[in-house]
Structure 1
Amino acid sequence: MVVLSIESFAKNDSNKVILLTDETSQIHVTSYFDFFLDTNARYSIDQISSHEFQDHFKRVTDSHILFDYLDSPIWLRITINNNQSIYNHSWYLESWGFDIKNVTFYFPKPNGTFETSTAGFERPFEERSVKHKNFNYFLDLRPSETKTYYLKIKRSYNQEFSFHLRTNEKFLSHSLNEYFLLGIYYGVLVIILTFNFYLFYRLRDTLYLYFPCLIIACIWFSLGRDGLGFQYLWPNSPWVNKLNNEKFVELIIILSTLLFSERYIQKYTKNKNVMKLTVWAILLKLLLFVNQLFFFELNYVNYIVITIIILLIPFSLGLYSLLKAKIYSWSYVFAYLCLFLVIVYSYSKSIQLFDNPVLNWYFVYPVIFAEMILFSFSIFNQLKFLQNQFLTANAEKTIALEKNNQLTQELNSKLKEKVRARTEKIEKMAADLAQKNVELQTTNVKLQELNSQVTQLNNYLQENNKILKSSVEEVTKDLALMKGLDFEDFKNVFPDKDTCLKFISELKWKDKYHCKKCEYNKFTEGPNHGRRCKNCNYYESPTVDTLFHKLKFPIEKAFYILYLSNRKDVDLTLNELSEILELRRETCWAFKNKISQAMEKVGHNKDLNGWETLALVHLE
């Protein structure tokens, strides 16, 4: 039980002190933090922790701390006084929430300096001192000690923070309970997944392939949301976390749902319009996905509304088809409603249904769980429906066979009477048939001859196919071994200065524009693809603070030198490069040396990074 009374903390002029007593085992301490916004990211821990700087901190009044300045780090400060008489308690500070971009914890040392521990969403999991999906730090706070700790946090969105102080016993209990519940959640999903794979193996119906795809996507989404995937599956690949947060998994969930829903409806009633609308919905969702990543990113409200409309149109027509066929699958309807709730709640991270951020974050899990259970019930109901149809068809078939038997008996009696009359006629016909049989045998011999000829032609075609296949493989191999672009081909891509400046402008300001003078983010287009601040009228050229700043020769030739520097298959001498680009040998050498300095400055890796990443390196 958490015991936190008015006496559990004390106030002074600059900082609120958390008082740990013998009755205290865990405290939610988010509101006890002070914060400072480092807009230019220029302060060090020595400056932040200095006595003169303490008045710059402000009290945290909201669990989000700040709703803006996502590009600026936030410094947090907390002071804790251990007034316990128990010496065998260890205290941990836990920052709940897996997707903090970067967090550095500063532990005070006796000599006045600080020891650091850095972790985050974009850093390898193995860097953490406590191997837990959340950020946990051992405080090393003895009884009668008072220490002030600092954290430096970088966010990727306006996330809600939740900080807790826990004893070692409470930390273990909380972690085990959380992992146990998550284990049950994933275990049930894996059981449903295995069962549907079994159905697909036995029935060979794509319905039982689309549903596992949906389950796998939901498992992937959940692993990326709670941090277990980062902890156990891709600890050394933090880029997977970013992939998990860029709508890709949501796209797979929606496409799988559309395909599953279409096949589910077709099992009950054949409606070609449902199939057409499903195909159109898939195409529209793919276009929306590409637009969000590469073109004009919509506001999340508009994005959610469009996504729900895309899902709702084929769903509504399918539901109408079911109702028209007098099939009432309520589990299917409620499962779809759960899917809508998952999309809205998971994409809009600002929605807060509960006061507890942990409940807000994990609320989507029981919804996904309910969605999978309801879809499974829908499948069971459909299997029962198909089984009933099979039994009904068998009963109708049995009745039809009985009627056929009665008709057969009646016909047999009539046929017996006619058999005698037709026997003579049949004998005559048999003689004719014998003669025709001879003719058929002759024809059969001719057909066999033709068959042997066709076989020979088939063998010939197979040999030609093998030759063609080997030719295709050789051409494919030649294509795979083709080199990059020479200067003439490269000039077709970047033919002039305007094209190069436009490319640099888009690369430089692809995320967001901020004026170098006043940090204002509104601008107008200037000459040569530059940008002029609407606040202070400062004009910034695309080449400022780039590798091409103050370039003394055509920028398109500099582009080609930079392009060649990132290729391993081309190694031109300075004389060859000078001759190709019609530049002086010293000019080529100077710019290649500038590129080498840029590579060394950013730790450029030719295997992992493209040449364009060096364009924005500023050396002056």
Structure 2
Amino acid sequence: WFISYALDEYFYFGIFYGMILVFSFYNLIMFIAIRQKQYLYYVLYNLSVGFFEMSTDGIAYQYLWPNAPEWNQVAYAFALCATSIFALLFTRELLFVKAKAPRLNQLIIGVIVIRLIFFIYCYLFNQTLFSFKFIEAIPLSVAFFTGIYIYKNGYQPARFFVLGYSFLFAGFTLKFLIMLGISWLNFGVVSYYSLSFCFVLEMVFLSFAIGDKVRLLKLKKDKAQQKIIKQMAINAKLKDTVNQELETKVEERTREVYHKSLIIESKNQALEEANSLLQKQAEEISRMNVLLEQDNEELQTSVEKVSRDRVMNTEVDFEEFSKIYPDKESCYGFLAELKWSKGYHCRKCNNDHYFSGHILHSRRCSKCGYEESVTTYTIFHNTRIPINKAFYMIFLIYSSKGKISSHKLSELLSIRQSTCWTFGSRIKKVMDERKKTLKKTGKNGWS
């Protein structure tokens, strides 16, 4: 009987620790790929749970540190402390507690600090206090209550978190009641390993919570992209409408000019026939020519002004501007398209083949491996201003021909005046250099 029981127990241990390793390895890969802290905290939490279970059931002493009995007496306490801390950190990251419940975020940080102080005190001064495992009910209750609070406030991924912690809370309560001496609850292997079973269920549901969070984030991103696409379609339609109206007006004025030219030609013929007798008519025609030239100049000026206003509307505020460039993705995409519009060439080896880099829209040379970000060798390199605000600052300075003050920029962009002055000076310097270059080729700057 004993051999059969031992084999069954080790079979259970293999399943339990195997699940911990599988969950940990999968989420470690996700952390390396996505770089979100919640995956790392979840991996550390699972490993801490496994470390605690190995310390309490003797597996660790048997295989990991058989020659360290003193360490074996406190190893479980170290694992239990790590479990509580990483559970709270995971709760804080997964449920966005800092943004959704600032007071609960402060409570979680406080509980983490107190738990660490208690562990250090016990380890240095009184290790017998490690036997008071019931204090883990405090961080467990804080995490459980936080999940319920966030879920009631409408954050759907918290439902799996609450469900997982419900099983863990039930297992912890059962263990605590057995420890208090309620013997009828200790009815065999199931009750003895109840906390381990609850840990497994909790791991499963926490994985569901992470997956649900990722799903909601992807759905939110897709909705934002659809909104951008819809807005771009509206803008394109508006642009086509304005162009069509402009073409219609130009055609009307062209016909008018052509009609007046015919009249002038007719009167010139009449003047040639009447000669000096029609001098007054010639003067009238000359006056009409002057008026016609004025009309032509006004027409040319109007066409140029409409063209400039259509391309560069000086009354666009930051909210409207943000609809076109709402985030770093759109700004970097536009900047990459502009920067490499004539093709990519590596600045180190002049190779023209590349792969996508580690940074958003960066390019890595396929030959020498040199990675160039989209802002390198541009005016946006090493600037601390959000990229869409930097775009808007360039737009304001360009549209005002450099006359807008740094105080006004600070007011419009909600950025410190000194920062606006520094970055604005860089923009004006680049535009002045561009203006000098254009003048040498017979073109105008600030237009």
TM-score scaled to structure 2, two decimals?
0.51
Query: What is the DSSP-based 3-state SS (H/G/I as helix, E as strand, rest coil) of the residue aligned with 1:406?
Result: helix
Unaligned runs of 5+ in 1: 1-169, 442-620
Cα deviations by residue, 1:318-369 (Å, 9 ceiling, x for unpaired): 5323322353633211222334345555677455554555444322211111
1:479-498 correspondence to structure 2 within 5 Å: none
- The alpha carbon displacement at 1:269 in A equals 5.8
- State how far apart, in whole Å, the 1-side matches of 2:108 and 2:152 are: 18
- The alpha carbon displacement at 1:376 in A equals 1.2
> Structure 1 residues 343, 256: closer, same or farther in 2, change over 3 A?
farther
> Structure 1 residues 243, 309: closer, same or farther in 2, change over 3 A?
closer
Is the counterpart of residue 249 in structure 1 residue 79 in structure 2?
yes
Query: What is the DSSP-based 3-state SS (H/G/I as helix, E as strand, rest coil) of the residue aligned with 2:54?
Result: helix
1:418-497 correspondence to structure 2 within 5 Å: 420-421=300-301, 440=436
Is the counterpart of residue 367 in structure 1 residue 198 in structure 2?
yes
1:400-419 correspondence to structure 2 within 5 Å: 400-414=231-245
- The aligned residue for residue 180 of structure 1 is 11
- State how far apart, in whole Å, the 1-side matches of 2:132 and 2:208 are: 32
Letter in 2 for 1:402: A
Letter in 1 for 2:151: L
> Structure 1 residues 199, 294: closer, same or farther in 2, change over 3 A?
same
> Structure 1 residues 389, 438: closer, same or farther in 2, change over 3 A?
closer
Which one of the candidate residues 74, 87, 109 is aligned to 1:279?
Answer: 109
Query: What is the DSSP-based 3-state SS (H/G/I as helix, E as strand, rest coil) of the residue aligned with 1:325?
Result: coil
- State how far apart, in whole Å, the 1-side matches of 2:136 and 2:6 are: 36
- State how far apart, in whole Å, the 1-side matches of 2:432 and 2:225 are: 43
Assess if the C-alpha contact under 8 Å between 1:353 and 1:360 holds in 2: no
- The aligned residue for residue 63 of structure 2 is 232
> Structure 1 residues 172, 295: closer, same or farther in 2, change over 3 A?
closer
- The alpha carbon displacement at 1:374 in A equals 1.5
- State how far apart, in whole Å, the 1-side matches of 2:24 and 2:213 are: 17
- State how far apart, in whole Å, the 1-side matches of 2:88 and 2:156 are: 19
TM-score scaled to structure 1, two decimals?
0.38
Which one of the candidate residues 118, 137, 148 is aligned to 1:319?
Answer: 148
Cα deviations by residue, 1:345-404 (Å, 9 ceiling, x for unpaired): 567745555455544432221111111112112112222222222232233233222222
Letter in 1 for 2:73: K
**Higher normalized contact order (CA 8 Å, seq sep 6+, divided by chain length):** 1
- The aligned residue for residue 199 of structure 1 is 30
- State how far apart, in whole Å, the 1-side matches of 2:73 and 2:303 are: 86
Which one of the candidate residues 161, 164, 171 is aligned to 1:332?
Answer: 161
Letter in 2 for 1:219: G
Which one of the candidate residues 278, 288, 292 is aligned to 2:118?
Answer: 288
- The aligned residue for residue 41 of structure 2 is 210
- The alpha carbon displacement at 1:224 in A equals 1.2
> Structure 1 residues 314, 263: closer, same or farther in 2, change over 3 A?
same
Assess if the C-alpha contact under 8 Å between 2:81 and 2:115 holds in 1: yes
1:34-113 correspondence to structure 2 within 5 Å: none
- State how far apart, in whole Å, the 2-side matches of 1:424 and 1:264 are: 55
Assess if the C-alpha contact under 8 Å between 1:269 and 1:325 holds in 2: no
Letter in 1 for 2:165: Y
Assess if the C-alpha contact under 8 Å between 2:27 and 2:43 holds in 1: yes
- State how far apart, in whole Å, the 1-side matches of 2:127 and 2:59 are: 29
Structure with higher helix content: 2
**How many matched pairs?**
266
Is the counterpart of residue 384 in structure 1 residue 264 in structure 2?
no
Cα deviations by residue, 1:212-235 (Å, 9 ceiling, x for unpaired): 011000111111122222222222
Cα deviations by residue, 1:416-473 (Å, 9 ceiling, x for unpaired): 568953567899xxxx99x9658756xxxxxxxxxxxxxxxxxxxxxxxxxxxxxxxx
Letter in 2 for 1:287: I
- The aligned residue for residue 123 of structure 1 is none
Letter in 2 for 1:199: M
Cα deviations by residue, 1:243-286 (Å, 9 ceiling, x for unpaired): 223x2211111101100001011189644334322211211222
> Structure 1 residues 283, 438: closer, same or farther in 2, change over 3 A?
closer
- State how far apart, in whole Å, the 1-side matches of 2:140 and 2:193 are: 24
Assess if the C-alpha contact under 8 Å between 1:258 and 1:278 holds in 2: yes
Q: Which runs of 4+ in 1 moved over 6 A?
A: 296-303, 423-427
- State how far apart, in whole Å, the 2-side matches of 1:383 and 1:391 are: 12
Cα deviations by residue, 1:13-48 (Å, 9 ceiling, x for unpaired): xxxxxxxxxxxxxxxxxxxxxxxxxxxxxxxxxxxx
- State how far apart, in whole Å, the 1-side matches of 2:202 and 2:301 are: 72
Cα deviations by residue, 1:134-188 (Å, 9 ceiling, x for unpaired): xxxxxxxxxxxxxxxxxxxxxxxxxxxxxxxxxxxx4443332221221111112
Assess if the C-alpha contact under 8 Å between 1:193 and 1:215 holds in 2: yes
- State how far apart, in whole Å, the 1-side matches of 2:203 and 2:81 are: 17
Is the counterpart of residue 395 in structure 1 residue 229 in structure 2?
no
Assess if the C-alpha contact under 8 Å between 2:97 and 2:105 holds in 1: no
- State how far apart, in whole Å, the 1-side matches of 2:43 and 2:434 are: 61
> Structure 1 residues 234, 412: closer, same or farther in 2, change over 3 A?
farther
Which one of the candidate residues 79, 88, 102 is aligned to 1:258?
Answer: 88
- State how far apart, in whole Å, the 1-side matches of 2:23 and 2:143 are: 25
Structure with higher strand content: 1
- State how far apart, in whole Å, the 1-side matches of 2:146 and 2:215 are: 23
- The alpha carbon displacement at 1:208 in A equals 0.4
> Structure 1 residues 393, 253: closer, same or farther in 2, change over 3 A?
same
Letter in 2 for 1:234: W
> Structure 1 residues 292, 180: closer, same or farther in 2, change over 3 A?
same
- State how far apart, in whole Å, the 2-side matches of 1:268 and 1:279 are: 10
- The aligned residue for residue 372 of structure 2 is none
> Structure 1 residues 355, 263: closer, same or farther in 2, change over 3 A?
closer
- State how far apart, in whole Å, the 2-side matches of 1:295 and 1:172 are: 42
Query: What is the DSSP-based 3-state SS (H/G/I as helix, E as strand, rest coil) of the residue aligned with 1:398?
Result: helix
